[in-house]
Amino acid sequence: MMTTILKIGGNVLNQPVQLADALDYFSTLKGPAILVHGGGRKASEVITAMGHRPLMVDGRRITDEPTLEIVTMVYAGLINKKIVAFLQQRNTNAIGLSGADGNAIIAHKRPVGTIDYGFAGDVDRVDAALLSGLLSLGLSPVLCSITHDEQGQLLNTNADTIANATAVALASLPQTVSLQYCFEFPGVMLDISDPSSAIKALTPAKYQELKKQGAIAGGMIPKLDNAFAALDKGVHEVVIGDLTTLRNGQGTHCRKGA
Ligand code: ADP
């Protein structure tokens, strides 16, 4: 049986209708499934409302202490619990977890380089046995993007990275894992302004070529770097698309090899 890891993107989380649609899709998946979410726009709204300024460098959040407190409240609290409650209504017995809960995801604070990302976590370990145990009880874990370092420090962690590390950890059990990234486009596109240009299958060679041409940029680059690494580490498939394409088994399928 295939285990699905579904990561829902920021722009899907921001739109209540799209979010409901994504959770509907998750609740109808056959077989064990794990949901991974970040926080979308809400965290920045609360940061501003509490009199702080959202700190970003190149589209990545800098997590100072007040920011860490707020993202923990928003991601591990409000958003995670709203998602869990929605899934219960759809008869999916979801259990919301941060990385600290059950010691599910251990990370370390990103070392300070040219940029100090503050309390940003880089993932060291995902407890696949714990997640698999929950799945075997009929529970669907809903992971938010907050982890910890086992020294009492919570860390803000990229949701794509969590999805990826979770997929790799489950694959090593071993389990057959489908890693699905749900965002607002039908897939990785040759031309970002033309949704009909979404690619059906992407190989590492084609990816490098499109990256060089500038056709693939921004958040899609770390997503794809991690996707190909996950395939090399035993994840069965990585699919990137919107809800319609994912539902139809379409979207961009990342493929191993040249
Ligand atoms: P999310 O949280 O939704 O996963 P990311 O910013 O991590 O968002 O990655 C998705 C983004 O990648 C898209 O919103 C899009 O702006 C950008 N992107 C860059 N190049 C492409 C491309 N060729 N096809 C699709 N998306 C692309």
Atom of ligand 1 nearest to the CA of 185: 25
What are the tens digits of pLDDT across the range 32-52?
A: 999 999 888 999 999 999 999
Ligand 1 binding pocket includes 185 (Cβ within 6 Å):
yes
**How open is the CA angle 67-70-71, to the nearest 5 degrees?**
85
3-state SS, the chain, equals CEEEEEEECHHHHCCHHHHHHHHHHHHCCCCCEEEEECCCCHHHHHHHHCCCCCCEECCEECECHHHHHHHHHHHHHHHHHHHHHHHHHCCCCEEEECCCHHHCEEEEECCCCCCCCECEEEEEEECHHHHHHHHHCCCEEEECCEEECCCCCEEECCHHHHHHHHHHHHHCCCCEEEEEEECCCCCCECCCCCHHHECCEECHHHHHHHHHHCCCCCCHHHHHHHHHHHHHCCCCEEEEECHHHHHCCCCEEECCCC
Atom of ligand 1 nearest to the CA of 188: 24
Distance CA 242, CA 185 (A): 5
Q: What is the pLDDT at residue 60?
A: 84
Q: What is the pLDDT along the chain (258 residues), one digit of tens a residue?
A: 999 999 999 999 999 999 999 999 999 999 999 999 988 899 999 999 999 999 988 878 999 999 999 999 999 999 999 999 999 999 999 999 999 999 999 999 999 999 999 999 999 999 999 999 999 999 999 999 999 999 999 999 999 999 999 999 999 999 999 999 999 999 999 999 999 999 999 999 999 999 999 999 999 999 999 999 999 999 999 999 999 999 999 999 999 976
Query: What distance in angstroms lies between residue 37's CA and the mean position of ligand 1's atoms?
Result: 15
Contact present, 167 and 235 (Cβ < 8 Å): yes
Q: What is the pLDDT at residue 258?
A: 62
Atom of ligand 1 nearest to the CA of 183: 3
Query: What distance in angstroms lies between residue 121's CA and the mean position of ligand 1's atoms?
Result: 22
Q: Which residues contact 36 (CB under 8 A, 6 or more apart)?
A: 5, 6, 7, 8, 142, 143, 145, 159, 162, 163, 166
Ligand 1 binding pocket includes 188 (Cβ within 6 Å):
yes
Q: Which residue has the tokens 């910890």?
A: 148
Q: What is the pLDDT at residue 140?
A: 98
Ligand 1 binding pocket includes 207 (Cβ within 6 Å):
no
Ligand 1 binding pocket includes 215 (Cβ within 6 Å):
yes
Atom of ligand 1 nearest to the CA of 191: 23
Contact present, 49 and 95 (Cβ < 8 Å): no
Q: What is the pLDDT at residue 176?
A: 98
Q: What is the pLDDT at residue 138?
A: 98
- The pTM assigned to this predicted structure is 0.97
Return the structure tokens found at 1.
């049986």
Q: Which residues contact 69 (CB under 8 A, 6 or more apart)?
A: none
